[in-house]
Amino acid sequence: MAVELPQWLEDLRRAEVVDRVRNDPRSGSGRFFGLSGHTAMNAIGWGQAPFDEPWGDLSPEDRALLYAYFNQKGHLEELTEAFRQMFPNRTPDDLIVIDVGCGPCTGGLALAGVLDPPTFDYIGLDSSVTMRDLGERMAASLRRLKGMRRCWASGPAAVDWDRAPSWRSVLVIVSYLLASPTLDPAQLVTDLDKLLAKLGKGRVSVLYTNSPKASANRNFPSFQKAMQDAGFDMPADGTGEIVVERWEGDQQRHLRYAVFHRPAQNRLPLGGG
């Protein structure tokens, strides 16, 4: 069966993304902000562009919108299916979510569609302020998401977390980030681990999703090694597919995924047995 997004999320995307692209005076007759579909994909670097820079006549905001128009929906569908499997029965208490390379709040919106009520702390990390702004605009436009407390930063090292460390569980989302040419996976895990220590000692789950293409996952082995060095095990690692509904009919969407897990750190490092 095809993965369905909640109606409020479809409506949000229509208002904040689809209509903004389609109703722009440069769009029409199969063109998007004046570009063919293929050129538009080049303009967003197939998802890996420096989104704060203009490209030809496109502003950074245009590029972020084109990313959300072309790429975000499939990622929302994959994450929605993953979260339905991860949280089948209940909303976890007091969850903290770190969405690394969050783009336009993709992981946060998908999770808010699965958890009812969507009450969690959301830390959206993206090197592009244009992406963070689009994510905040999307999340802020919905009363339904007022229980999702949000903070945004360029990366884990830049998060200003002034609350006391606690035992709260943490979910880290790493969706389509590892192909980024600017990413150092080992440094990412070091910075992430420091942020996790600021949050506390609760259990941590990490969901990794990506295209199944080898080139998109070339950084995965060093990411995995750094995660294992940081005390994570990897209970799931594979490829799979979901069915998605498109105007031309149902389609299979293939993805690479992995789950990492680290239990609550409730043992004192006293040494000895």
Ligand X SMILES: C[S@@+](CC[C@H](N)C(=O)[O-])C[C@H]1O[C@@H](n2cnc3c(N)ncnc32)[C@H](O)[C@@H]1O
Binding site for ligand X (CB under 6 A): 47-48, 51, 72, 75, 101-103, 106, 125-128, 131, 155, 175-177, 180, 182-183
Give the phi and the psi of residue 17 in degrees, each rounded to 5. -125, -65
Neighbours of 157 (CB within 10 A): 14
Minimum distance, C-beta of residue 142 to ligand X, in the bound complex (Å): 18
Closer CB to ligand X, 199 or 255, in the complex: 255
Angstrom distance (rounded) from CA 202 to CA 154? 24
Coil, strand or helix: which one is 72? helix
Coil, strand or helix: which one is 125? strand
Owner of token pair 């790493």: 174
Closer CB to ligand X, 70 or 232, in the complex: 70
Closer CB to ligand X, 32 or 51, in the complex: 51
Closer CB to ligand X, 47 or 200, in the complex: 47
Closer CB to ligand X, 176 or 232, in the complex: 176
Q: Which residues neighbour 228 within 8 Å (Cβ) at sequence distance 6 or greater? A: 234
The DSSP symbol for 157 reads G
Give, to the nearest 10 degrees, the angle between helix 220-229 and helix 185-199: 40
Minimum distance, C-beta of residue 145 to ligand X, in the bound complex (Å): 17
Minimum distance, C-beta of residue 264 to ligand X, in the bound complex (Å): 26
Angstrom distance (rounded) from CA 43 to CA 67? 9
Tokens of 150: 């949000």
Minimum distance, C-beta of residue 182 to ligand X, in the bound complex (Å): 4
Minimum distance, C-beta of residue 158 to ligand X, in the bound complex (Å): 10
Closer CB to ligand X, 117 or 218, in the complex: 218
Closer CB to ligand X, 95 or 207, in the complex: 207
Minimum distance, C-beta of residue 15 to ligand X, in the bound complex (Å): 18
How do strand 96-100 and strand 204-210 relate by DSSP bridges? unpaired
Angstrom distance (rounded) from CA 258 to CA 263? 17
Question: With the C-alpha atoms ordered 5, 123, 69, 67, is the resulting torsion angle positive or negative?
Answer: negative
Of all residues in the shown chain, the one whose CB is closest to ligand X is 103
Determine the residue type at 178: L
Minimum distance, C-beta of residue 66 to ligand X, in the bound complex (Å): 12
Determine the residue type at 107: G
